[in-house]
Amino acid sequence: MISLQDIQLAQQRIEGVAYCTPLIPCPGGGEDRTLYFKPENLQPTGAFKLRGAYNKISSLTSEERRRGVVAHSSGNHAQAVAYAARALDVRAVIVMPRGAPKVKLDATRAHGAEVVIVGDDSAERSYRAGQLAEEFGYIPVPPYDDEPLIAGQGTVGLEILDDLPDVETVLVPVSGGALISGVAAALKLNRPEINVIGVEPELAADARASLHSGRIVELSAEEVYRTVADGLRVRRLGDTPFEHIRAFVDDIITVSEEEILEAMRRLALRVRLVAEPSGAVSFAGYLFHSDELPPTRRNVAVISGGNVDPNLLAEVLANGDGARTAWPM
């Protein structure tokens, strides 16, 4: 389990590399229920992942850095590792699925990493990355099951507390679990009364099932691949994130595909924030599942990333009808 000191050290390491993203007020809310967005889509790589990747690689010894790093990812972690490795002059090899959005593949290569393409199953990516680490001596940079990585993602929580000390509820997307683990630890170790709520797609709801059953639930690749939220197509939580989720997360709720796309549309048209589906799930939870959330006044939704395929974004903006809810926004 990470400590508050681990997260504070990560905050020092990433200073000047990852942005301290601002809290943006959501238009249309009332005084009795306000919402702020934590727009991690504004990071240099378009997602929160840079925080953890940079903290992990910068914590390696000189000898480990000389060996290079290997990672596996559907896109955002790939870009973060490539960016951080280049900044630290470390060789990076990234294993990515053939179905990853082109915008994420292109960006990863543009940051100087070597990309190895495999099938769409996250287990296949993990296996191939392990092979490369064993064959060439690369240091693995896991996408979520790693304490320095979790501590880096936890800096999001410290920044929320700095900007909104009286925050009451924070909604966080859930994939492999590093982001919500780090954010929840940062918040709860400072103020245990804060509510931390995870949000994931109904079609890839392994984290909710895991939290409610008290054991890690694994889904099939076919199940999780149904969701449009490509960054949340992880089949199971990491072991280390699951420990943190059980200790610090209050609940995990799920949202439908239609709700995710509508949240994307409203973020783009009304807040001027471009979010990928994975990044919009927290707002979808706030919009459409208020009955499952604490009745708190000061709320934050973490928008975890904005690396959306341009064709999908165009389709979302063209097809939304805005009639999904009576909420003013």
Tokens of 205: 């709801």
Q: What is the pLDDT of residue 256?
A: 98
Same domain? For 17 and 62 the reply is: no
Q: What is the pLDDT of residue 293?
A: 97
Query: Could you give the number of structural domains in the chain?
Result: 2
pLDDT band at 321 (very low <50, low <70, confident <90, very high): low
The CA distance from 79 to 241, in Å, is 21
3-state secondary structure 85-101: HHHCCCCEEEEEECCCC
In the predicted model, what is the mean pLDDT of residues 60-72? 97
The CA distance from 192 to 247, in Å, is 11
Mean pLDDT of the chain: 94
Question: Of 131, 142, 156, whose CA–CA distance to 78 is shortest?
Answer: 142
- Within 10 angstroms of residue 15's Cβ, the number of other Cβ atoms is 10
Per-residue pLDDT reduced to its tens digit, 196-207: 999 999 999 999
Cα four-point dihedral sign 120, 123, 129, 132:
negative
φ, ψ of residue 122 to 5 degrees: the values are -60, -30
Q: What is the pLDDT of residue 324?
A: 44
CATH assignment of the domain containing 27: 3.40.50.1100
The CA distance from 142 to 81, in Å, is 10
Same domain? For 133 and 250 the reply is: no
- Within 10 angstroms of residue 89's Cβ, the number of other Cβ atoms is 8
Per-residue pLDDT reduced to its tens digit, 4-16: 999 999 999 999 9
Three-state DSSP class for 171?
A: strand
146 pLDDT more than 60:
yes
Tokens of 96: 């990515």
Same domain? For 104 and 223 the reply is: no
269 pLDDT more than 50:
yes
Domain end (from 92, 114, 140): 140
Give percent above pLDDT 90 in the chain: 87
Same domain? For 173 and 270 the reply is: yes
Domain contains 117: yes
- Rounded to a whole number of angstroms, the distance between the first and last alpha carbons of the chain is 39
Same domain? For 85 and 216 the reply is: no
In the predicted model, what is the mean pLDDT of residues 126-153? 96
Domain end (from 140, 167, 192): 140
Domain contains 216: yes
Q: What is the pLDDT of residue 319?
A: 85
User: What domain range includes position 195?
Assistant: 4-47+147-319
329 pLDDT more than 70:
no
Domain contains 280: yes
Per-residue pLDDT reduced to its tens digit, 86-125: 999 999 999 999 888 888 899 999 999 999 999 988 789 9
φ, ψ of residue 204 to 5 degrees: the values are -145, 55
The CA distance from 71 to 138, in Å, is 9
CA of residue 104 relative to chain centroid, distance: 15
Same domain? For 16 and 159 the reply is: yes
Same domain? For 260 and 222 the reply is: yes
Q: What is the pLDDT of residue 121?
A: 82
Domain contains 64: yes
Q: What is the pLDDT of residue 280?
A: 98
Tokens of 220: 């099939």
Q: What is the pLDDT of residue 305?
A: 96
Question: Of 180, 139, 136, whose CA–CA distance to 157 is shortest?
Answer: 180
29 pLDDT more than 80:
no
Domain contains 328: no
Same domain? For 27 and 176 the reply is: yes
The CA distance from 186 to 196, in Å, is 11
Same domain? For 117 and 219 the reply is: no
